[in-house]
Amino acid sequence: MADDRTAATPDGGTEWIRRADYQPPRYRINRVELAVDVDARTVVTSRMQIERNAGADPEAPLWLDARDLELLSIRVDDAPLAADRLVHGNGGFWVHGLPTQCLIETQCAIHPEQNTALEGFYASGPMYCTQCEAHGFSRITPFIDRPDVLARFQVRLTADATRFPVLLANGDCIERGTLDDGRHFTVWEDPFPKPCYLFAMVAGDLALVRGDYRTSEGRPIALEFYVDHGSEGLVDHAMEALRQAMRWDEECFGLHYDLDTYMVVAARAFNMGAMENKGLNIFNSSLVLASTRTATDTTFDAITSVIAHEYFHNYTGNRVTCRDWFQLSLKEGLTVFRDQRFSEDVLGASVQRIEQARALRAVQFPEDAGPTAHPVRPDAYKEVNNFYTPTVYEKGAEIVRMMHARIGESAFREGLRSYLQQHDGTAATIEDFVQALSTAAGVDLDGFLAWYGQAGTPRLAVRREWLPEQGRMRLHFNQHTPATPGQPDKQPLPIPIRMQLLDGEGEVRPLPAHPARQGDDLLLMTEATLTLDIDSDEPLLPACLMGLSAPVILQGDYSTLDLQRLAVQAGDPYVRWDALQQLHAQAHRALMADDDSLLEPLLVSLQRIAAAPPEDEAFTAMLLAPPAMSWLWEQYDTLDPQRFMAAFQSLKTAVARALCGPLSVWAQRNPIAPGRAGQRALTNVALGYLLLLQSDAVLALARRRVCDDNMTLAMAALQGLNQTATGECTLANAAFYERWRDDALVLDRWFAVQAASPHCTVEGVQQLLEHPDFDWQNPNRVRAVVASFARENLSHFHSEAGYALYADILQRLDRSNPQIAARLCRPLIGFARLAEPWSGQQRAAARALRARAASPNLQEMLDAALHD
Ligand code: B3K
Ligand code: ZN
């Protein structure tokens, strides 16, 4: 196929789009003027200044993407287009016989209220808004819907003034006025050329909360948050996070905001977290609205990080965008890295880094080990929306972090700035970015490109050899990446290993001189093996991968005693935390075989940590908290889910018993003052454990706490009670519902904790789906029930009835919102790792669903697992 669709635009998801097929666009759109008449039937008129690119075949037709549009008219240079010059194709049409430059005017009609896919222009509650990434714009008007076509946009919105008093689009508002039929209009000009995926418009009756910001250059910026009436009091935190992010980008990278106004709109119905549209971010309301009464500390931190993420995209993503969607990690991995560094700076480096590591290991490592494993820069896809994954985002961020570690802070800053300068206003590739960093640092980083191309999580084995007669210890590192679908053979990757050597007293001994050594505590492994000779009078204990210096699985030759030492003595918080995770995993593995002998070393370590006065309670809470279930799950090749859950339960109960004393003290505190998040985290971990023991006093404490005015405390109590099958739990659920039934975001959490409960049966989940407040059209509500059930309530999900219900749910979602269906599909395609009869049952459910799956999104996910 040789037209502008190649490697760039959708064709209805029936064919593979391949990175190797990329061709530059034949035509560009220099400027577009949109006139949008907003209504239940919205009419969009578009005037595009089209120009054929130099070198393109003059005979080649122009391809315009257009999906689900009612095309009313098309004119070229103000004349109707002859019928034989318009040829319809899958997902768009060709226009033949164009001069080098022309003006194309199209008019089409769309129906936002019927748009349940939430892609394009759609209704979110009473307002209308857009989501264009990746290919939503071609559901609004015909366009060259690919990220390497950048145009200047002017948008005129017209609507009923009563129903839609607020009319927003990207850029600056240059005109507004009323019309005599009760309608009004606004006109927006965005001075920056942009790809159409960054287009946004909003029409609604929204409250405006204003803030301000002054750049370090002294330029005033208006900050505008548009929210539902009644939610005006819930934006303070997001507003402050935005200011912090703006300041941080100035201080760290010298990047200043470039428009006069920064707008954020909170939408009730949104497929993901937020969207970085130029000057007009649209956010899932769950990541904007918060007060200590209604949101948990975790939500506050998530708001900080997502507000920053979308803001940082203004440079990494918007000013410099991606050449094609294969380069998605160019903007996403880099921007996640930037938001991570920001969160480390404003929220605390060690705890944030452990959080990041925990999430990577709990979500991305499983993806890399499963049927949908793919490189950070994929080679082919059918539906690009399936590639907004933890691999592209989080593993992509880890690659940037490794390059940052290799070249250091100041060269990284210089490299990023020069990348932005060189490519400003254009669409770039991952090579462009790596090249700019390499040049700035004077270091060849090309070896890291292999990380973008190779799927799977490398295993890094570390073996110690003690040679007493030579007075030396030898450390053998060996890397190996298991095969992933379509990639049987793997090559060695550059792995930065940040490490320390501990002697018997816990003192740090220096690393020996070695060509792989890059700094005091940094080695760069570039081959399959690396051997380090260390002169020493005693065997040393290596603390490896400090701060998770590479996204790999460490396979150390550690004894239980070594792990216990690392958990207490290591200077690096991540290494301490990881050692405890390993002790948990060992104990769990033994419990799976009805052996409780490995509980003791874990419990002793936890008791030592609990006995020490906590310096940083948030960190202590992390050390004591149970491991993420999905990470623990990854420790096994084949699993009996019922045994897995029983062993997990025994593990947690054993910890609760062993630490009962300090846990009781922490659980009973009431740390409500702002800024006490660390204390709340520890209090909540403690309460969670103690509730497993089900004493009357603790049940009563939790029951009272469910009504606390601090949501972090209330939610933990509710969640903990839902792990018990008690009358207190029933009462608490009822009371909580009565209190919060009118607050959609809090009610989402109410649904989620119940679906996640090990006591919520498949019928119980069914009842939640039939609850009058359940809403199939609202992604937050759907995720609350459906994702919580499959990811946390494993004993009920893993049953024939559980799989059948899940498949039915996905089928239903697939018909209305394919992106959500595909994202939720993952738990149903993990059957290769399950023991029988679960494996066969889940495979059968997935196969039956495949036969009924309507969208390419869901089909592609299922096919990845069912290919055999
Ligand atoms: N760029 C968007 C994600 C778009 C997802 C499209 N299915 C949000 C973000 O990463 O900032
Ligand atoms: Zn992003």
Give the Å distance between the CA of 522 and the centre of ligand 1.
Answer: 34
Give the Cα separation of 766 and 808 in Å (integer).
11
Beta strands in 79-149 (DSSP E): 79-80, 86-89, 92-95, 101-110, 120-124, 127-131
Region label for 804, one of left (φ > 0), alpha (ψ between -120 and 50) or beta (otherwise): alpha
Give the Cα separation of 655 and 647 in Å (integer).
12
CATH number of 552's domain: 2.60.40.1840
Amino acid at residue number 723: Q
Q: Tell me the percentage of the chain whose pLDDT exceeds 70.
A: 98
Give the Å distance between the CA of 348 and the centre of ligand 2.
Answer: 22
Shortest-distance Cα residue to atom 1 of ligand 1: 275
What's the length of the chain? 868
Q: What's the burial of 612, exposed, middle or buried (CB within 10 Å: 0-12/13-18/19+)?
A: exposed
What residues of the chain score a pLDDT lower than 50?
A: 1-2, 6-7
Give the Å distance between the CA of 762 and the centre of ligand 1.
Answer: 33
728 pocket-lining for ligand 1 (C-beta < 6 Å): no
Check: CB of residue 545 under 8 Å from CB of residue 497.
Answer: yes
Cα–Cα–Cα angle for 824, 830, 836, rounded to 5 degrees: 135
Give the Å distance between the CA of 133 and the centre of ligand 1.
Answer: 6
* Closest ligand to residue 307's CA: 1
Q: Which atom of ligand 1 is nearest to the CA of 332?
A: 10
Domain extent at residue 81: 10-205
272 pocket-lining for ligand 1 (C-beta < 6 Å): yes
Distances (CA, A) of 567 to 101, 604, 625, 830, 831: 68, 11, 14, 32, 34
275 pocket-lining for ligand 1 (C-beta < 6 Å): yes
Give the Å distance between the CA of 458 and the centre of ligand 2.
Answer: 25
* Closest ligand to residue 136's CA: 1
| Judgement on whether residues 867 and 753 belong to the same structural domain of the protein | yes
3-state secondary structure of 852: helix
pLDDT of residue 5: 60
| Judgement on whether residues 823 and 762 belong to the same structural domain of the protein | yes
Give the Cα separation of 192 and 609 in Å (integer).
54
pLDDT of residue 15: 87
The label of the residue with tokens 């200044």 reads: 49
3-state secondary structure of 683: helix
Q: Which atom of ligand 1 is nearest to the CA of 273?
A: 8
Amino acid at residue number 298: T
- Contacts for 412 with CB less than 8 Å, ≥ 6 apart: 403, 404, 437, 440, 441
pLDDT of residue 868: 59
Region label for 487, one of left (φ > 0), alpha (ψ between -120 and 50) or beta (otherwise): beta
Mutation test residue for ligand 1: of 118, 119, 132, 133, the one with most atoms within 8 Å of CB: 133
Amino acid at residue number 129: C
If one counts every other C-beta atom within 10 angstroms of the C-beta of residue 659, the result is: 22
Q: Which atom of ligand 1 is nearest to the CA of 313?
A: 11
pTM listed for this prediction: 0.98
Q: Which atom of ligand 1 is nearest to the CA of 276?
A: 11
Give the Å distance between the CA of 359 and the centre of ligand 1.
Answer: 18
> Which of 393, 428, 453 is a domain's end point?
453
Give the Å distance between the CA of 131 and the centre of ligand 2.
Answer: 13
Instruction: Give me 186's structure tokens.
Output: 């606004």
- Contacts for 324 with CB less than 8 Å, ≥ 6 apart: 7, 8, 19, 22, 146, 147, 148, 427
Position 680 in a domain: no
Distances (CA, A) of 523 to 205, 402, 475, 702: 57, 12, 12, 49
Give the Cα separation of 832 and 373 in Å (integer).
13
Region label for 692, one of left (φ > 0), alpha (ψ between -120 and 50) or beta (otherwise): alpha
Position 622 in a domain: no
385 pocket-lining for ligand 1 (C-beta < 6 Å): yes
| Number of independent structural domains in the chain | 4
Amino acid at residue number 197: Y
Give the Å distance between the CA of 192 and the centre of ligand 2.
Answer: 19
| Judgement on whether residues 111 and 169 belong to the same structural domain of the protein | yes
| Judgement on whether residues 412 and 546 belong to the same structural domain of the protein | no
Mutation test residue for ligand 1: of 196, 316, 388, the one with most atoms within 8 Å of CB: 388
Give the Cα separation of 656 and 844 in Å (integer).
39
H or E stretch covering 258: none
3-state secondary structure of 386: helix
Q: What is the DSSP string of 794-841?
A: HHHHSSHHHHHHHHHHHHHHHHH-HHHHHHHTGGGG-GGGBPTTHHHH
pLDDT of residue 3: 57
pLDDT of residue 646: 98
Amino acid at residue number 711: M
> Which of 144, 174, 205 is a domain's end point?
205
| Judgement on whether residues 365 and 481 belong to the same structural domain of the protein | no
137 pocket-lining for ligand 1 (C-beta < 6 Å): no
Give the Å distance between the CA of 391 and the centre of ligand 2.
Answer: 13
Give the Cα separation of 604 and 583 in Å (integer).
11
Q: Which atom of ligand 1 is nearest to the CA of 310?
A: 11
How many CA atoms lie less than 13 Å away from 96 in the CB half-sphere? 9
Position 433 in a domain: yes
Check: CB of residue 71 under 8 Å from CB of residue 108.
Answer: yes
Distances (CA, A) of 715 to 249, 280, 287, 295, 754: 34, 32, 17, 9, 12
DSSP 8-state assignment for residue 60:
P
The residues that are catalytic are 310
Position 421 in a domain: yes
332 pocket-lining for ligand 1 (C-beta < 6 Å): yes
Mutation test residue for ligand 1: of 194, 332, 392, the one with most atoms within 8 Å of CB: 332
Instruction: Give me 139's structure tokens.
Output: 């559901």
310 pocket-lining for ligand 1 (C-beta < 6 Å): yes
| Judgement on whether residues 48 and 193 belong to the same structural domain of the protein | yes
Check: CB of residue 127 under 8 Å from CB of residue 207.
Answer: no
Position 695 in a domain: no
| Judgement on whether residues 505 and 413 belong to the same structural domain of the protein | no
* Closest ligand to residue 284's CA: 1
> Which of 404, 426, 453 is a domain's end point?
453
Mutation test residue for ligand 1: of 272, 276, 819, 824, the one with most atoms within 8 Å of CB: 272
| Judgement on whether residues 784 and 760 belong to the same structural domain of the protein | yes
Give the Å distance between the CA of 451 and the centre of ligand 2.
Answer: 20
| Judgement on whether residues 72 and 129 belong to the same structural domain of the protein | yes
276 pocket-lining for ligand 1 (C-beta < 6 Å): yes
Name which of 125, 138, 268, 114 is nearest 199 in CA terms.
138
Check: CB of residue 342 under 8 Å from CB of residue 563.
Answer: no
Angle, helices 677-691/660-668, rounded to nearest 10 degrees: 130
Shortest-distance Cα residue to atom 9 of ligand 1: 275
pLDDT of residue 672: 87
134 pocket-lining for ligand 1 (C-beta < 6 Å): yes
Check: CB of residue 429 under 8 Å from CB of residue 376.
Answer: no
Chain CA centroid to CA 162, Å: 37
Give the Cα separation of 215 and 426 in Å (integer).
25
Instruction: Give me 758's structure tokens.
Output: 């090990």
- Contacts for 505 with CB less than 8 Å, ≥ 6 apart: none
Shortest-distance Cα residue to atom 8 of ligand 1: 275
Position 289 in a domain: no
Shortest-distance Cα residue to atom 6 of ligand 1: 133
Shortest-distance Cα residue to atom 5 of ligand 1: 133
132 pocket-lining for ligand 1 (C-beta < 6 Å): no
Mutation test residue for ligand 1: of 132, 276, 334, the one with most atoms within 8 Å of CB: 276
CATH number of 20's domain: 2.60.40.1730
* Closest ligand to residue 281's CA: 1
Give the Å distance between the CA of 449 and the centre of ligand 2.
Answer: 21
Give the Cα separation of 172 and 190 in Å (integer).
6
Shortest-distance Cα residue to atom 4 of ligand 1: 133
Give the Å distance between the CA of 274 and the centre of ligand 1.
Answer: 7
Shortest-distance Cα residue to atom 3 of ligand 1: 275
Instruction: Give me 419's structure tokens.
Output: 């990348």
* Closest ligand to residue 277's CA: 1
CATH number of 446's domain: 1.10.390.10
Give the Cα separation of 829 and 842 in Å (integer).
8
- Contacts for 661 with CB less than 8 Å, ≥ 6 apart: none
Chain CA centroid to CA 272, Å: 9
Check: CB of residue 204 under 8 Å from CB of residue 128.
Answer: yes
| Judgement on whether residues 63 and 178 belong to the same structural domain of the protein | yes
Give the Cα separation of 357 and 574 in Å (integer).
8
Shortest-distance Cα residue to atom 7 of ligand 1: 385
If one counts every other C-beta atom within 10 angstroms of the C-beta of residue 538, the result is: 13
| Judgement on whether residues 464 and 403 belong to the same structural domain of the protein | no
Q: Which atom of ligand 1 is nearest to the CA of 271?
A: 7
Position 541 in a domain: yes
| Judgement on whether residues 162 and 121 belong to the same structural domain of the protein | yes
Position 658 in a domain: no
